[in-house]
A and B are shown apart, each in its own frame.
Chain A
Amino acid sequence: MATRQTQGLARLMRAPAIILLFIWMIVPLCMTLYYSFLNYNLLNPGMTSWAGWFNYQYFYSDPAFFEAIGNTLILVLGVLFITVVLGIAIAMLIDKPIFGQGIVRILVISPFFVMPPVAALIWKNMIMHPSYGVLADVARFLGVQPVDWFAQYPLFSIILIVAWQWLPFATLILLTSLQSLDTEQMEAAEMDGAPAYSRFLYLVLPHMARAITVVILIQTIFLLGIYAEILVTTNGGPGTASTNLTFLIYRAARLNFDIGGAAAGGIIAVILANIVAVFLMRAVGRNLD
Chain B
Amino acid sequence: MARAVSRNTKIGWTIAAWAVALLIFFPILYTIITSLKSEQEAIAGFDLIPSFTLESYQTVQSQNNYWRPFTNSVILAVGSTLLALIVAIPAAWAMAFSPTKRTKDILMWMLSTKMMPAVAVLVPIYLIFLRTGLMDTRIGLTVLLMMINLPIVVWMLYTYFREIPGEILEAARMDGATLRDEILYVLTPMAIPGIASTLLLNIILAWNEAFWTIQLTTTNAAPLSAFIASFSSPQGLFWAKLSAASVMAIAPILVLGWFSQKQLVRGLTFGAVK
Chain A residues, Cβ within 8 Å of B132 = none
Q: Shortest CB–CB separation between residue B19 and chain A, in angstroms?
A: 10
Q: Is the CB of A177 within 8 A of B229?
A: no
Bitwise, B100-113 to A at CB < 8 A (1) or not (0) is: 10001011101111
Q: Is the CB of B91 within 8 A of A17?
A: yes
Interface stretch of the complex, out of A58-66, A73-81, A168-176, A198-206? A168-176
Chain B residues, Cβ within 8 Å of A101 = 17
B234-274, CB < 8 A from A = 237, 239, 242-243, 246, 249-250, 253-254, 256-258, 261, 264-265, 268-274
Instruction: Tell me, yes or no, whether B184 is within 8 Å of chain A by CB.
Output: no
Q: Is the CB of B120 within 8 A of A108?
A: no
Knowing A13-B91, A115-B253, say if A25 contacts B113 (CB, 8 Å).
yes
Knowing A115-B249, A267-B120, say if A126 contacts B243 (CB, 8 Å).
yes
Q: Is the CB of A113 within 8 A of B254?
A: yes
Instruction: Tell me, yes or no, whether B49 is within 8 Å of chain A by CB.
Output: no
In the bound assembly, the distance between CA atoms of A16 and B84 in angstroms comes to 11
Q: Is the CB of B87 within 8 A of A20?
A: yes
Bitwise, A225-240 to B at CB < 8 A (1) or not (0) is: 1011001110100000
- Residue in contact with A122 in the complex, picked from B10, B246, B269, CB distance below 8 Å: B246
Knowing A96-B13, A98-B10, say if A164 contacts B273 (CB, 8 Å).
no
Q: Shortest CB–CB separation between residue A169 and chain B, in angstroms?
A: 7
Chain B residues, Cβ within 8 Å of A283 = 272
Q: Is the CB of A176 within 8 A of B273?
A: yes
Q: Is the CB of A16 within 8 A of B90?
A: yes
Q: Is the CB of A10 within 8 A of B121?
A: no
Instruction: Tell me, yes or no, whether B174 is within 8 Å of chain A by CB.
Output: no
Q: Shortest CB–CB separation between residue B160 and chain A, in angstroms?
A: 15
Q: Is the CB of B106 within 8 A of A231?
A: no
Instruction: Tell me, yes or no, whether A245 is within 8 Å of chain B by CB.
Output: yes
Chain A minimum-CB-distance residue to B10 = A97
Instruction: Tell me, yes or no, whether B169 is within 8 Å of chain A by CB.
Output: yes
Interface stretch of the complex, out of A46-54, A151-159, A210-218? A210-218
Knowing A126-B243, A169-B268, say if A21 contacts B147 (CB, 8 Å).
yes
14 contacts between A and B (CB under 8 A): A1-B170, A10-B94, A93-B17, A97-B9, A107-B21, A114-B28, A115-B208, A115-B228, A117-B226, A125-B237, A126-B34, A225-B118, A225-B119, A250-B119
Binding site for B on A (CB under 8 A): 1-2, 6-7, 9-11, 13-14, 16-18, 20-21, 24-25, 27-29, 31-32, 35, 90, 93-94, 96-101, 103-127, 132, 134, 137-138, 141, 164, 167-169, 172-173, 176-177, 183, 187, 210-211, 214, 218, 221, 224-225, 227-228, 231-233, 235, 245-246, 249-250, 253-254, 259, 262-263, 265-267, 269-270, 272-274, 276-277, 280-281, 283-285, 287-289
